[in-house]
Amino acid sequence: MKHYLSIKDIDSLPDWVAEARTLKENPLLFQELGTNKTICLLFFNNSLRTRLSTQKAAINLGLEVVVMNFGNEGWALEFEDGTVMNQNKSEHIKEAAQVISQYCDIVAIRAFASLTDKTKDEAELVLNGFTKYATVPVVNMESSVGHPLQALADAITLAEHNTKARPKVVLSWAPHPKALPHAVANSFVEMMQLQDADFVITQPKGYELDPDITKNTKIEHDQQKALQDADFVYVKNWSSYNDYGKVLSQDPVWMMTKEKLDKAKFMHCLPVRRNVVVEDAILDGNQSLAIEQANNRTYAAQLVLKKILKSLP
């Protein structure tokens, strides 16, 4: 595998999930794969889970890890072609990506959506800039449009807890005071489209995700109806896609409660705002899989890095 940029890079989700679960049982089995090799983790935005789990995954595979926070440590990068760089951008992606490629064997990038310019966000300037100009494989650690490492960890978690041939899985929008990107929801939807499940998205009107991503996925605006007989409820806020990046509602009626969850398992990518997105009783109870999802981030990343390392010359 050359790059891991989106869910589309997964050739067989059941095979990937099975292999990740095997890795989880014996995470140090492939330590020789990364010997004398280095991964650079480049962060244009904050992180807890992605940063630590990807480092842990790399260490499990014997890789050396170099981390850089571009937001406050690197030169401000220019991504547009042909720009007269007489403003605040000091270095072009063309040089930066080639230079970084000389220091590592794999580069992983986190660069969120601006939520101010849909066209630029959908062009994935940072991720695609590195993919175009780096000479080493690129891993997406959450870009404007997708978070495929999170969705792979979610698929592992679902497989570990599912007891049915065709479970009911609900992606339920939640209120949040800040405008959040669509990346986690997008990749979760794309991952669920590869599963045999009764999958439904529930959200207030105006919060429809990109129709090119949701395609013919069921959408139900009545949250109570959507949650009926659910086995798994994935709760997540995202800002409006049509009214791009806007917070249209903070209606607390959409917060997930223990009563609404009923017997279903609760999922969330974290970080989560308690008693805004979900009430304490769920996070502190035994129906929450959020901590296990975070643990599975290591094995999702480890599987991806293992596949890339195996395909290096």
Binding footprint of ligand CP on the chain (CB under 6 A):
47-50, 142, 150, 269-271
Which CB atom, from 29 or from 52, has the smaller least distance to ligand CP?
52
Least spacing, CB of residue 270 vs ligand CP, in Å: 5
Least spacing, CB of residue 98 vs ligand CP, in Å: 27
Rounded CA separation 253/16 (Å): 37
Least spacing, CB of residue 233 vs ligand CP, in Å: 17
The single-letter code of the amino acid at 174 is: A
User: Nearest to residue 109, comparing CAs of 59, 16, 47, 18?
Assistant: 47
Q: Does the CA dihedral 7-256-293-263 come out positive or negative? A: negative
Least spacing, CB of residue 158 vs ligand CP, in Å: 16
Which CB atom, from 71 or from 271, has the smaller least distance to ligand CP?
271
Which residue has the CB atom at the shortest distance from ligand CP?
Answer: 50
Which CB atom, from 168 or from 268, has the smaller least distance to ligand CP?
268
What backbone phi and psi angles, to 5 degrees, belong to 74? -95, 170
Least spacing, CB of residue 17 vs ligand CP, in Å: 18
Rounded CA separation 87/106 (Å): 31
Which CB atom, from 46 or from 83, has the smaller least distance to ligand CP?
46
Which CB atom, from 48 or from 312, has the smaller least distance to ligand CP?
48
> Is the distance from CB of 161 to CB of 111 less than 8 angstroms?
no
Which CB atom, from 187 or from 240, has the smaller least distance to ligand CP?
187
Degrees, nearest 5: CA angle 261-264-270: 75
Least spacing, CB of residue 109 vs ligand CP, in Å: 13
Degrees, nearest 5: CA angle 160-152-51: 110
The token pair at 44 is: 């244009």
